[in-house]
Structure 1
Amino acid sequence: MEKLYHISEDPKIKIFEPRPASYYPEHILRKAVFAISGQLLHNYLLPRDCPRVTFYAGPGTAETDKARFLGNSTAAYIVAVESAWLRDIQQAIIYCYELPADTFSLFDKCAGYYVSQLSVVPISVRPIYNVMEEMLKRNVELRFMPSITGLANAVKQSTLNFSLIRMQHVKKV
C-alpha cells in the first residue's frame, strides 16, 4: 500500500481519533480517521478552509474535456483557488503527518481518500512553511481565479476526476 498522510494546521497531534464523517454521513456510518494518498496529497497542501477545485484526467476522461480544462498545461494535476486566498496561502504553515497504512481502507480512489475506524498514531510529522513551493514540486498547476464557482460547476459536469474541497467557504463575487 502507498504512503498515507493527513494535513493539519496543528503541529502537536499525538493520536488521530475517529470522528463523525460529516461530509459523507450516508456513506461512512461509523466515526473515521481520514488520510490522503501520496499521489493526491497536493489537494490538501493549503490552509484548511481554503476552497479549491482539484482535477486531473483519468482513464475515462474525454479528449474534449482534456482540451477544455487542461489545455496546453504540462501538469498532471490542477488545483484552482480563489485569488482572495493568496495572502492566507503565502502565510500558512501546515503540518504533514505520515500515517501507518495498516488499518486504512480505500474510500474514494478518485479523491485519494482512505479511512480507518481505529485510532491512529502518526509515524512522523513535517512542517511545511511554503505551501505553494511544496505544491509546485508535485507536477501540479496552481491556478488563482477571482471565483472558482463556475469552474466547480463545469468540472462536476465533465468526465474529469475531481474533488471539490471546502466549497462552503467560497467568497461570493
Structure 2
Amino acid sequence: MRPRPGEVLHFSEDPTIARFVPHVALTSQEAEAYVWAVGHDRAPDYWFPRQCPRAMAWVVDGTSDVDRERIVGAGSGVRVHAIEYGWLEALRTTRVYAYRLQAGPFQPIAAPGSEPHAMVATEPVEPLGPAVPVGDLIACHAEAGIQLRVLDNLWPFWDQVVESTLGFSGIRLRNAKGSPRNNTLVGSLSGGV
C-alpha cells in the first residue's frame, strides 16, 4: 500500500475517520499541532499495528558494503524491518487501514540534520475516499521485497543499526522488551548518513 502521485497516506486501525484535524499526539516530540502522513518511501514504516515496536534500516548513498552485508544481509535487498516475537500474532491479525490524502497541504518534517520522515499539515484535511484495508501486513513486506525479521529483543539489532552507515527509523521502541541502553532512543526516530 503506497500513495499515488499527488497523494500521501495516513495509516490507522480506525476505518471511520471522516476528517483529520491537527493535534499534538501524546507520543509526539513536536509541540505544534499537525495532521501526520507519509509519502511513498516511508509508507512501509506503517505496515504494522500502531503500538508495535519496530526497528527499520535501509541502504542509502554512503552505506558501506560491510554494513549492508552485516545488517541487511548479502544479496537480500535494500531494506530490513525487525519486530519482536511477542508482536508476531498482532502483525498477522491486526487490521490496518490507509487513508489517501491530497499531498498539497502537506510539507516534509525532519529532525535537524536528518532526512524527512513524515509529511505534516497544519490545517484540517479530509480523505479522498473511505479507508482502504492494507491487507496482509506480512504479504505487504514480501511484495515490496522488504526483509521482515522476528527477534527475541530489538535492542541489540537497534544498537547495530544506529551505529551503522544505513538509514534507519525506530517507531514505538518504548514498547520493546527490556530497557534501552540509551533512553533518548525510545520515541519515533529516523536517521541516516
TM-score when scaled to structure 2? 0.81
Aligned to 2:176: 170
Compute the displacement of 1:62 (Å).
2.1
Aligned to 1:69: 71
The answer to whether structure 1 residue 106 and structure 2 residue 112 are counterparts is no
Q: CA 1:2–1:143 in 2, change beyond 3 Å: closer, same or farther?
A: farther
1:79 to 78, 81, 87: 81
**What percentage of residue pairs aligned between the two structures are identical?**
27
Instruction: Indicate conservation of the 8 Å contact 2:108/2:116, yes or no.
Output: no
The answer to whether structure 1 residue 123 and structure 2 residue 128 are counterparts is yes
Query: Is the partner of 1:5 in helix, strand or coil?
Result: strand
Compute the displacement of 1:171 (Å).
2.0
Gap regions ≥5 residues in structure 1: none
1:150 to 156, 168, 171: 156
The Cα offsets for residues 108-149 of structure 1, whole Å up to 9 and x where unpaired, read as: 374641111111111132112311112221121111111111
CA distance in 1, matches of 2:146, 2:170: 16
The answer to whether structure 1 residue 14 and structure 2 residue 29 are counterparts is no
Task: Kindly report structure 1 stretches of 4+ aligned residues shifted beyond 4 Å.
Answer: 21-24
CA distance in 2, matches of 1:65, 1:76: 11
Gap regions ≥5 residues in structure 2: 180-193
Instruction: Indicate conservation of the 8 Å contact 1:111/1:162, yes or no.
Output: no
Instruction: Indicate conservation of the 8 Å contact 1:5/1:41, yes or no.
Output: yes
2:41 to 39, 42, 58: 39
Compute the displacement of 1:73 (Å).
4.1
Task: Say which structure is richer in strand.
Answer: 1
Output aligned runs, 1:55-66, within 5 Å.
55-66=57-68
Aligned to 1:135: 141
Letter aligned with residue 133 of structure 1: A
The CA RMSD measured in Å over matched residues stands at 1.9
Instruction: Indicate conservation of the 8 Å contact 1:106/1:115, yes or no.
Output: yes
Query: Is the partner of 1:159 in helix, strand or coil?
Result: coil
Higher relative contact order (CA closer than 8 Å, sequence separation 6+): 1
Letter aligned with residue 4 of structure 1: V
> How many aligned residue pairs are there?
171
TM-score when scaled to structure 1? 0.90
